[in-house]
Amino acid sequence: MAVAPPSYCFVAFPPRAKDGLVVFGKNSARPRDEVQEVVYFSAADHEPESKVECTYISINQVPRTHAIVISRPAWLWGAEMGANEHGVCIANEAVNAREPAAETEALLGMDLVRLGLERGATAKEALDVIIALLEEHGQGGNYYEDANSCHSFQSAYLIVDREEAWVLETVGKYWAAEKITEGVKCICNQLSLTTKIDAEHPELRSYAQSQGWWTGEDEFNFSEVFSPSDDHLTCCSGRDTLEKQEESITVQTMIDVLRDKASGVCVDSESFLTTASIVSVLPQSRSSPCVHYFTGTPDPSRSIFKPFIFVDDVKLVPKAQSPCFGDDDPAKKEPRFQEKPDRRHELYKAHEWARAVLESDEEQGQKLRKTMLELEKQGLEAMEEILTSSDPLDPTEVGDLFYDCVDTEIKFFK
């Protein structure tokens, strides 16, 4: 069985989070050399009976999809994490379970993240979308751009809006979900739901019994029943990092947690690296906009979190998008992944220089890091002003916000 990379997703609700804000964060741990891009798609109407081509399969399109901004491995259709115009954020985790994941090509967990964002205007709606598509199409296929072996996983999701969050954990088409409205929650690459289950697949328990994994007499504990026997829960290292915070949790707290290598939340190992990160702030008051910070580059401890706000006229950011290879993309041809094209975008290439400096030259590296944090701080302070202001948001001011931040970062690295 492939080893699931140790990614982490977090959410903090008031009063643990500050100023009536819900704070969401995720580190995406993926193969070290994989490029992630940050892409915006505007809301769209679709023809009746049209199809949408996901990573491996096509499914029926819906009449209207919401505007979304996502961070995704550049070779696939779906998303590791992202947000939509209604203040819904979703991230997923590859998990191992007692039942091996299907290698047959179906929907990837990452496709379901994007489909949930495109089709759900609340966290609960997105949950229902994912569950229905899982039932109809199943999940399966290679999670990595790797011709030599198929790395397939089950999936867990953290689905968040301004009012509540749902943790959804899946094994094949079977699933369980827990609703969260307070405190702090962390999910990682292991099943975490135990006995508090607020919704579940109607045949979940009978299936567990039929497999001999549950007697039907003991209390039903989802992760105990479905986790591989050798899985020991180490996921809590991430949760501990966030729960140890004595003060209220802010955007900066979440960024600091995602940058923490000592706790294991920021992955930098021989096989895996945190290839991209997101932090989102969802004010419970609907008069304030949600703000989503993306790195679009690897290793959050050496990256700049850049803000994005949904408005009607968002300026696209080609410099954070990978080259498009169309039908010639080796990920779209069968047999798949016979070649690995260069998927680096302009921001990624500029950032490679910065990473090299930070790693090799102590004096120049410290200077560079200081300036990078200063750039980030300016963005955080500008967003803080928007969130605390009583004036309505001027869309013309923020339509090119992410574009400008990426542009400034590239110029600065040059």
Q: How far apart are CA 394 and CA 311, in angstroms?
A: 9
Residues labelled catalytic? 9
Distance in angstroms (rounded) separating the CA atoms of residues 150 and 380: 40
Number of helices followed by number of strands (H, E) in the chain: 10, 18
Which pLDDT belongs to residue 236? 58
Picking from 321, 281, 289, the residue whose alpha carbon sits closest to that of residue 403 is 321
**173: number of Cβ within 10 Å:** 17
Superfamily grouping for domain 8-413: Penicillin V Acylase; Chain A (3.60.60.10)
- How much is the pLDDT for 83? 99
Please report the pLDDT score of residue 6 as a whole number: 83
Sign of torsion over alpha carbons 227, 31, 244, 385: negative
Alpha helices for 53-154 (secondary structure H): 109-119, 123-137
pLDDT score, position 235: 63
H/E stretch holding 73 = strand 68-73
Digits of tens for pLDDT over the chain (414 positions)? 567 788 999 999 999 999 999 999 999 999 999 999 999 999 999 999 999 999 999 999 999 999 999 999 999 999 999 999 999 999 999 999 999 999 999 999 999 999 999 999 999 999 999 999 999 999 999 999 999 999 999 999 999 999 999 999 999 999 999 999 999 999 999 999 999 999 999 999 999 999 999 999 999 999 999 999 876 555 656 777 787 777 899 999 999 999 999 989 999 999 999 999 999 999 999 999 999 999 999 999 999 999 999 999 999 999 999 999 999 999 999 999 999 999 999 999 999 999 999 998 789 999 999 999 999 999 999 999 999 998 999 999 999 999 999 999 999 997
What pLDDT does residue 361 have? 78
**pLDDT, position 160:** 98
d(CA 125, CA 116): 8
Phi first, then psi: give them for residue 22, nearest 5 degrees. -95, 130
- Any idea where the domains of the chain sit in the sequence? 8-413
Alpha-carbon distances of 36 from 67, 273, 310, 330, 340, rounded to whole Å: 19, 12, 21, 17, 14
Is the overall model pTM greater than 0.85, yes or no? yes
* pLDDT for the residue numbered 231: 65
pLDDT confidence of residue 237: 66
Cβ atoms within 10 Å of 414's Cβ, excluding its own:
7
Q: Backbone phi, then psi, for 159, in 5-degree steps?
A: -120, 120
pLDDT at position 399 is: 96
Cβ contact 369:351 at 8 Å: no
